[in-house]
Amino acid sequence: MSTVLYSGDERLANRPEKDQEGERAPYISPDIGLSDLWYFAMPSRKLKRGKLLAKRMFDLHLVFGRDSEGRPFAMQNSCRHQAMPLSLGRFDGKRLECPNHGWLYDTDGQCVSIPCLSEKQPQDISRIRIKSFPCRDVQGNVWIYAGRPSDDIPDPPRLPEVEAKHLRVDGMMRFACGMDRATLGLIDPAHGPYVHTSWLRRSDRDRREKEKRFVPSHLGFTMARHSTKTAQALWFMPKSMEIEVSFQLPGVHFECVRAGKHVFTGMITATPLTANETQVNYNLYWTIPWLAPAQPVVALLMHNFFAQDQHAMAGLSTFATERTPPLTLVGDPDQQAVWYFKLKQEYLRAKKEGRPFENPVQETVLRWRT
């Protein structure tokens, strides 16, 4: 006897989900984010072995978990039978049990048992599958891939030269805006003196000319390595340092400061929760063990810094309407924002046309005053 699948009023009998959606169809809504890329989900410590965690992401309700062997996984938090959230059911480290009628799923979202079916009425349940999302632990964080599970997905982004064991400060904030606006905040060289008022603002008289060389890099661009004085304002930072800053789609920003044989690296990521809410995570690692006492101070500074960005976005959401005029991006201070939109456009076009991505960023020197 065959299985009949329904989706709302529409009967989708005997067709696997792959055929219903089409191989090229975006895995998540294009209004929310780009498909087939890695997004930061959460610090690894938040996902305990054998436990489930419900979380809104990509405008979907997801359930995250970690199996009995320590592998993270995620799938839609909705039983294929009658949509009961699986996060409310039991999990034995291998299988998730729906709390409503006990359908069992493995951690790939495949239905493996419908206990109430009579043995005299066998059903083919191999087609019953929940939309799942590959997950990986990298450097102490869980990343989620917004694409179909397969054997040849790329590795998640990875900060150079640090590991989970290194000293670290991390935090998470929710910004009241969509993915684009949150991401623009990560690559905006000009908002510092206005948004980060308490410790970066200079008077117009103090404003300095900046000149930085940018080169194209993987799915984005990089501000080429140069010596920095900004970080030296912190008393515990060494006096001779070089910095390299990069950005890649969908919203991953790296800053790598090298001081002799040691590194301080920072990663800021944007992950869409809904069309109007974005999760921003920051992670700072460093390799100098004797700087451990600075950890609480750095945590406080980082929190205050990102709270200022969060506050700015809250202001934007309060006054944004559908009649808000389009953005006016002007000159070099806004060039990174222009690149971001061009990168997205090219990414979507390349996907649609089934061809390799061609980075639209050209090597150039950008100038601005802050």
What token pair was written down for 182? 């949150």
219, 221, 247, 180: which is closest to 358 by C-alpha? 219
Told to check if 103 binds ligand FES by CB under 6 A, we report yes
Distance CA 202, CA 225 (A): 25
Q: Which residues pair with 248 in a beta bridge?
A: 220, 252
203, 179, 157, 159: which is closest to 37 by C-alpha? 157
For Fe ion, the closer of residues 280 and 361 by Cβ is 280
For ligand FES, the closer of residues 103 and 221 by Cβ is 103
For ligand FES, the closer of residues 125 and 312 by Cβ is 125
For ligand FES, the closer of residues 105 and 175 by Cβ is 105
In the complex, which residue's CB is closest to Fe ion? 309
Judged by beta carbon distances under 5 to 8 A according to partner kind, the member of Fe ion, ligand FES, none in contact with residue 153 is: none
For ligand FES, the closer of residues 65 and 189 by Cβ is 65
For 268, counting Cβ atoms within 10 Å of its Cβ (0-12 exposed, 13-18 middle, 19+ buried), the class is buried
Min CB(41)–ligand FES separation in Å: 24
What strands, in cross-sheet order, belong to the sheet with 52-57?
A: 52-57, 60-66, 72-76, 132-133
Min CB(19)–ligand FES separation in Å: 23
Min CB(106)–ligand FES separation in Å: 15
Min CB(84)–ligand FES separation in Å: 4
- To 10 degrees, what angle do helices 335-353 and 179-186 make? 130
Judged by beta carbon distances under 5 to 8 A according to partner kind, the member of ligand FES, Fe ion, none in contact with residue 106 is: none
Judged by beta carbon distances under 5 to 8 A according to partner kind, the member of ligand FES, Fe ion, none in contact with residue 309 is: Fe ion
Report 253-312 residues binding Fe ion (CB under 5 A): 309
Q: Are 276 and 177 in contact (CB under 8 A)?
A: yes
Min CB(305)–Fe ion separation in Å: 7
Contacts of 272 (CB under 8 A, 6+ apart): 32, 33, 39, 57, 58, 59, 178, 179, 278, 279
DSSP state of 110: B
C-alpha count within 13 angstroms, C-beta hemisphere, residue 251: 27
Min CB(304)–Fe ion separation in Å: 11
For ligand FES, the closer of residues 79 and 142 by Cβ is 79
Min CB(192)–Fe ion separation in Å: 6
b/e map of 218-251 (b: 16 or more CB within 10 Å)? ebbbbbbeeebeebeeeeebeeebebbbbbbbbb
| Peptide bond between residue 250 and the one before it cis (omega within 30 degrees of 0) | yes
Report 59-98 residues binding ligand FES (CB under 6 A): 79, 81-82, 84, 98
Query: In this structure, what is the dihedral angle of CA atoms 38, 41, 43, 46, given to the nearest 10 degrees?
Result: -140
For ligand FES, the closer of residues 114 and 153 by Cβ is 114
What token pair was written down for 22? 């089409």
Told to check if 100 binds ligand FES by CB under 6 A, we report yes
100, 99, 81, 83: which is closest to 91 by C-alpha? 99
The footprint of ligand FES on this chain (CB under 6 A) covers a number of residues equal to 8
Judged by beta carbon distances under 5 to 8 A according to partner kind, the member of ligand FES, Fe ion, none in contact with residue 84 is: ligand FES
Told to check if 145 binds ligand FES by CB under 6 A, we report no
Told to check if 101 binds ligand FES by CB under 6 A, we report yes
Q: Are 209 and 369 in contact (CB under 8 A)?
A: yes
Judged by beta carbon distances under 5 to 8 A according to partner kind, the member of Fe ion, ligand FES, none in contact with residue 97 is: none
Min CB(268)–Fe ion separation in Å: 9
Between the alpha carbon of residue 297 and those of residues 234, 293, 316, the distances in Å are 11, 8, 29
Min CB(100)–ligand FES separation in Å: 4
Told to check if 46 binds ligand FES by CB under 6 A, we report no
The footprint of Fe ion on this chain (CB under 5 A) covers a number of residues equal to 1
For ligand FES, the closer of residues 98 and 169 by Cβ is 98
Q: SS3 for 131?
A: coil
Interface positions with ligand FES (CB under 6 A): 79, 81-82, 84, 98, 100-101, 103
Interface positions with Fe ion (CB under 5 A): 309
